[in-house]
Structure 1
């Protein structure tokens, strides 16, 4: 069995949906951001603050190499994991890559008052979301399947992920 790899922008529900899908399918679950925090012994925000994005991306590559070797796991990746094409190559070796997309206002609503998003610390977070989405859009296209989660419940997204996985696993 292959892994289910969830990519997409921050606050699109990768972790929440991933846990639900893992439970439904009796798969393990791992979140690369939580793994990175464990490796560094600090939060993602602290890593960005103290060491910068480049250092974080190096840790992310190491985390991806680790999780890519797992079997029967749902892997929720950080929003920027797609920026390094080798991450997707690694994850695809033993998994199907499903990308979540959502409209900027939905992402902003999902983030709410959460200040633990280092890339959104700006005067205009919605504008920053739009900039980041535009920059990452070409990378998100490398997914095996894309689901627009903007107007869906967690349960609906989970069902779509499982359907996509079954369809892609055959191919």
Structure 2
């Protein structure tokens, strides 16, 4: 077995161990807009061989219009109600990696649903990193204000105590997406419940040393 094959086998074994310890639940990424939930989530799902679902994309598909249009036509309360219903449905379809919108975890019902059917990971990030990222996507409805940075600072102050209720927290730093994914993998390994005693271990696919 070559070094590359060994590395791939170790990766598969690690991924299998994590997914078994999910016990059918979804990994739910929460946090403020711009923290990297979708970009990192896609890589995490690929690593774990799980489906990746972006809740905002599913909301747009269900409403047949963009989130900006939903906000403009019906307001935030209408959007949050639809978001709650879509996420409740998605959580019944696990296991998966589910990236949620920045305000989703703030809703009491959604937070309870995530607690029941998922493993929540708060992707925490500092304000300068968040602002550098969100400026690349100027369509975010909540930031269409005269001072987007002040708005973001206020949102973070209001929401971070609630994000802190997530099952685990990692820092989404200004590093590669793979490095942030590795932080999530380590958090999952450290915090997920162990496999039940007597459960079959992940198969050893590493093969004999060569």
Q: TM-score, normalization: structure 2?
A: 0.78
Q: For 1:151 and 1:114, how far apart are their aligned partners in 2?
A: 17
The equivalent of 1:107 in structure 2 is 130
Number of aligned residue pairs: give it: 171
Q: Work out which of the residue numbers 86, 94, 109 in structure 2 matches 1:86.
A: 109
Shift of 1:48: 0.5
Secondary structure of the 1:61 match is helix
The equivalent of 2:79 in structure 1 is 56
Quick check: 1:8–1:100 contact (8 Å CA) kept in 2?
yes
Q: Work out which of the residue numbers 157, 160, 167 in structure 2 matches 1:144.
A: 167
Provide the alpha-carbon RMSD of the alignment. Answer: 1.2
More strand by share: 1
Match runs of 1:29-68 below 5 Å: 29-68=52-91
Q: Does 1:14 align with 2:18?
A: no
The equivalent of 1:72 in structure 2 is 95
Q: TM-score, normalization: structure 1?
A: 0.95
The equivalent of 1:153 in structure 2 is 176
